[in-house]
Amino acid sequence: MKKIVILISGRGSNMEALITARAAGALPVTIAAVISNRPDAAGLATATAAGIAVRCLDHKAFAERGAFDAALAECIDGFAPDLVVLAGFMRILGDGFVRHYAGRLMNIHPSLLPAFPGLQTHRRALAEGVRIHGCTVHFVTPTLDHGPIIIQAAVPVVDGDDEATLAARALLQEHRIYPQAVRWFAEGRLRLEHGRVRLAGELADGAVLVAPALR
């Protein structure tokens, strides 16, 4: 069974979704550890309650990013994971760190990449007047919020939406697609080919999302 390590900085709701999927038998992985860069991250208590090993490396204790990255990699490698999962990990990781985990470092971003990389994605989506928003799971590359896309989920932007309502709608989909992406990895169904992800096996036909809905 594949082993994963999850990195968090806060509550870790996507971490919770992975733990829930694992407990339900829907995610064939061992969650070897949860690591945070913040000692006050609420997700550490959640992981501990689930019987998962936790570690904390406070980034403020390191004089520069390279030293933190090196210590973090050493901590991760101590668990020998097959995959490292970023679940609300709010630190930009250096090129050397990313290359060390090339093809086995996964992230989820709250937009339909390549649209709206970076922060405040829901605010920016509303400001641009897009009709469809969503979330993306991708393999991490040295370019921020860029890398081969594994799976995306789209949600409609509804008249009257604010940041909170749009974020909540997208977050529900994050909790669906992240366990799916990790499961595909664990089952050996993901293949990187010329900078794109190829998925082995049959896929069900999905419904088309049209927003606003046609009447």
Q: Does residue 206 belong to any structural domain of this protein?
A: no
**Residue 201: inside a domain, yes or no?**
no
Residue 13 labelled as part of a binding site: yes
Looking at the domain assignment, is residue 197 inside a domain? no
CATH number for the domain including 27? 3.40.50.170
pLDDT in tens, 43-54: 999 999 999 999
- Can you tell me the mean pLDDT for 157-186? 96
Does residue 76 form part of some domain? yes
To the question of whether residue 12 is assigned a binding role by annotation, the answer is: yes
- In the chain, how many domains are there? 1
Token duo for residue 91: 């630190």
**Run of H or E residues at 163:** helix 163-186
pTM: 0.94
Q: Is 78 annotated as a binding residue?
A: no
Residues with a catalytic annotation lie at 109
Give the tens place of pLDDT for each residue, 95-136. Answer: 999 999 999 999 999 999 999 999 999 999 999 999 999 999
Whether 1 has a binding-site annotation, put simply, is no
Residue 36 to residues 85, 87, 88, 118, 196, Cα–Cα distance (Å): 12, 10, 10, 20, 29
Quickly state the pLDDT bin for 200 (edges 50, 70, 90). Answer: confident
Q: Write out the two tokens for 103.
A: 């093809």
Residue 114 CA: distances (Å) to CA of 44, 104, 110, 143, 169 = 31, 20, 11, 12, 19
**Residue range of the domain that includes 71:** 2-192
Is residue 183 in a domain? yes
